[in-house]
Structure 1
């Protein structure tokens, strides 16, 4: 019956609960419920433990919130159409959501979706039956009367005169499979509506019979042998490779992943489309086919798009194989391909398009394990001394040009401070480079740095953080303070510049880290070459070094995670409480040291105070 869809009980109290349609979820639309924004579902207490009263309240709220969410969807679609007309949507997203949904579904997939809806209804009915045991006869009669009215509504008239909530209920079920925008006039939607209607009629008939007689019964032959304990069918039958890639890409856009992640997806999407074909059903891709795919990926040439611009991947592979020294994708890149394909198929599992993940099997995963020795290591004490005694830190000709040539200038700007912030604060490269003056402040009398993707400059949208854990504030290490960091910040304030390091360039996507990391690689090469040595370290090794120093200081893994903005791995107990006070974090950060590294030349010497010595008896003698 319609009301039961949104009725949920926790303990003895009934709640109203209505999930957002998938398009609202993806768009991040929020509605206010009792003064609080909700982005995933409408949920609130009905403040009753009486089932009959709860059913009546749910019916009322279902009508209210169905209309409200329908209104929000209309507003969203109107905005999309307007954006499309104004040319504000990227070419890859110009078609409306409805246009991306296939009008034709296989009979197999329609049947699977209907059966899954029926099993879900049967599971809910089983809960009603359990809750009715020991119920008063009068209450049971009332319940049967409600069911009878629902049955009449389902059975009466044709599809065009069915209750409006039946259509919205079907749309919500279809949203589980990315089909919420299936055109209502399409044959596929009408077939689903007929099947969904039959499923609700059969479920209601079975429930009424059991409540009345105490014994199970079946009525409609198309649901014979199917019940609450039946396994869910493969509702993804017919969902294709192209559907998965489009849905996955849209989901990543809505989750706000970085531009670099989208770029990294492009070659993986291409390989999947070219190898399997865009219209191949996901259900047809077995473990063997997936192993064959990764055999194919292993042979893809490096920089394939640039070196073979007009060739299919298969053609490029053939041409590269003829080369005396083929250049293929690096192990790290192959691992990235594998990880993304695993994630895409996991997304398909979440949508119930597939039952398992053929890319995650051991035979495939074991091929892409990066050797421990090839992972980035921490800097050694000798390496840190070499880095921070380079001309950039002891005196050079200039920090933009001539940074590797000894000179009289120690210019405390971006190239000076960013490596130090990475070492003493555990900052990622982009986190340090994108800092603004407004990010440096004080809280509870403690100097802090805010790590955020928000900017005081309304025209700036380049600031990024890696994840929600990264968005926080941290105390400033006392050694950084001794080096004159706050004096540098005050100088920048006086200059009236918003960015802390305005001289640092960004790449085309607005990210600092790629250009700074490349420069730092050259800096390391030149610096160690001058010492007659080499290093395989990179900028990110500062973060590993910070972590190791935190372990040596024995500040505890949770404090280290909080200071370095790592996601804490552990039980649910770590989710409770307010976390570390800022003063505790300051004290723990101060324990992180790099014994054996000489920073004394970077700490300004305070001016000597010369006291005048007066003889005893002199008026100024103390």
Structure 2
């Protein structure tokens, strides 16, 4: 009998012999009959008939208990344990019959000082202990699952989500007790989650922080994209829990809020006036110093990350962290072409690099404009100095990502250079590179490979899994035609080497 058919099967006739209690029987598939097990809605229940001679003591004709799970395999195990406890309690009741009087009924959960309490307490405590793992336990098993391969960045995102979810639901909440309504309430709470809640609100609970943000419009909350990312990661964990049979269905499935902005409109390329202000700021023309005095005009010619990272992004389209984590050895000549090797591997033996996706690993030839600006000389100097990281002036950060500190600095830099505008940030360089590739009429497959967007063509083409990709010279010929016609950087050619 199939699973669904079995759950709707009729209960077998009771054996009317009164010498021992008989359990209600419901076939639950797998060619076996599970005595007393049935399902109400999505949750499995257990029911046993009380022997006639004990009904006056127990105060009810049946003992009923919710097993608090929608997992069949777990319900089968629980029903057997509960059945054993009930049988034992019935035997004790028989021995004590006549010495106790029922003052409550198990079916109503009333407290009494009779054997009824003993039976009720045993059933309830056993189910409470065995109704499945807690949210914290499931999360721990999910994140430690050796069959899953996740990048450091992905693991960081999951740990962040876990802290928020456990703060809202509680670590000890049984995963089987998380309902659809709970998940809807979670979504509503996250709608008012303040940005950087831990830093701004300290030890305050997520719910309280959300309540404060809801009452105060001045508190900035996370955007729809981040909110949906929280929900998606939580739903992914619950999908895993379904596969592992901790729960029968995913109560968070499909819960997302509508994005108010089309994905293509969330970020824009820098406009020409912004690029001009960025590359004529004091850090490029002369500043007091390239640390705290970067926005003040002076005689110091900047060097290091604050000078080179925006330029590399402009001419390569690489992601911020891809640039910030480069080793000196990652800028190397391959088949006669100087390239950035975007990879998580390190020739220096370090393990501090991560990539967003598998397709992010690639070769990006150094654009001729970067060569004209003296990038080769900078790399050579770093190599002579014996440094491992190309931008050794960037801190690794508490989370291990060198891009974190730079991203925060760049946001302040845009403001100091009067180049800040809505929907633009460092990632706008990447959008601008993609537009420049289109305007240069670079073959789409090559443009996507240069940017590391996908493996090439479309993700569904199995042909893209064959071969080793384009030769460096082909990629160099393509990237060399990228230009920004109205952006004049000639003043950078005059800086001292």
- Find the counterpart in structure 1 of residue 49 from structure 2: none
Residue 601 (structure 1) aligned with residue 491 (structure 2): yes
1:248 matched to 2:142? The reply is yes
Structure 2 Cα separation of the partners of residues 414 and 585 of structure 1: 25
Which SS does the other structure have where 1:347 is aligned?
A: helix
Query: Residues 197-251 of structure 1, C-alpha deviation per residue, up to 9 Å, x if partnerless?
Result: xxxxxxxxxxxxxxxxxxxxxxxxxxxxxxxxxxxxxxxx956534432232224
Which of 427, 442, 450 matches 1:563? 450
Out of 480, 493, 499, the residue aligned to residue 383 of structure 2 is: 493
Whether the 8 Å contact between 2:396 and 2:402 is mirrored in structure 1 is: yes
- Contact 2:305-2:393 within 8 A present in 1 as well: yes
TM-fit CA distance, 1:358? 3.9
SS at match of 1:578: coil
Does 2:336 align with 1:445? yes
Q: Is the 8 A contact 1:429 1:540 kept in 2?
A: yes
SS at match of 1:561: helix
**How far off its partner does 1:560 sit?**
1.6
Change (3 A) 1:444 1:467: same
1:437–1:498 Cα contact (<8 Å) kept:
yes
Report the alpha carbon displacement of residue 272 of structure 1 after superposing the two structures with TM.
5.5
> Structure 2 CA distance, aligned partners of 1:402 and 1:318?
40
* Equivalence for 1:546: 433
CA positional deviation for 1:390: 1.5
Judged with a 3 Å threshold, the aligned counterparts in structure 2 of structure 1 residues 312 and 366 are, in CA distance, closer, same or farther, namely: closer
- The 1:115–1:415 alpha-carbon spacing in structure 2 relative to 1, beyond 3 Å, is farther
SS at match of 2:165: helix
2:227 pairs, out of 330, 334, 349, with 334
Residue 444 of structure 1 and its aligned partner are, at CA, apart by: 1.0
Q: Check if 1:427 corresponds to 2:318.
A: yes
- After TM superposition, the structure 1 stretch with the greater mean CA deviation from structure 2, 513-522 or 264-273, is 264-273
RMSD (Å) for aligned C-alpha atoms: 3.8
Distance 1:415 1:278, change over 3 A: same
Q: Distance in 1 between matches of 2:379 and 2:199?
A: 43
Post-superposition CA distance 1:445-472 (Å, at most 9, x none):
11111122333445x4322222322223
Per-residue deviation, residues 466-516 of structure 1 (Å, max 9, x unmatched):
232222322111111121111221122222322222222231222211110
Q: For 2:477 and 2:159, locate their aligned partners in 1 and report how far apart those are by CA, in whole Å.
A: 41
Inter-CA distance 248–553: structure 2 relative to 1 (3 Å threshold): farther
**Alignment of 1:285 onto 2:196:** no
With normalisation by structure 1, the TM-score equals 0.53
How far did 1:371 drift?
4.9
Q: Summarize the alignment of residues 351-366 of structure 1 with structure 2, pairs less than 5 Å apart.
A: 351=244, 353=246, 357-361=250-254, 364-366=255-257
3-state SS of 1:365 partner:
coil
Q: Secondary structure at the match of 1:430?
A: helix
Q: Which residue of 2 aligns with 1:586?
A: 476
What TM-score, normalized to structure 2?
A: 0.65
Q: SS at the partner of 1:528?
A: coil
Q: Does 1:267 align with 2:267?
A: no
1:263 Cα offset (Å): 4.3
Cα distance in structure 2, aligned partners of 1:410 and 1:422: 20
Equivalent residue number for residue 375 of structure 1: 266
Q: 1:494 to 1:325 in 2, by over 3 A?
A: closer
CA contact (8 A) 1:376 1:540 kept: yes
Q: Which moved more, 1:395-404 or 1:587-596?
A: 395-404
Selected match of 2:364 from 466, 474, 481: 474
Q: Gapped runs of 5+ residues in structure 1?
A: 1-107, 117-176, 192-236, 608-622
Q: How far has the Cα of 1:525 moved from its partner?
A: 0.5
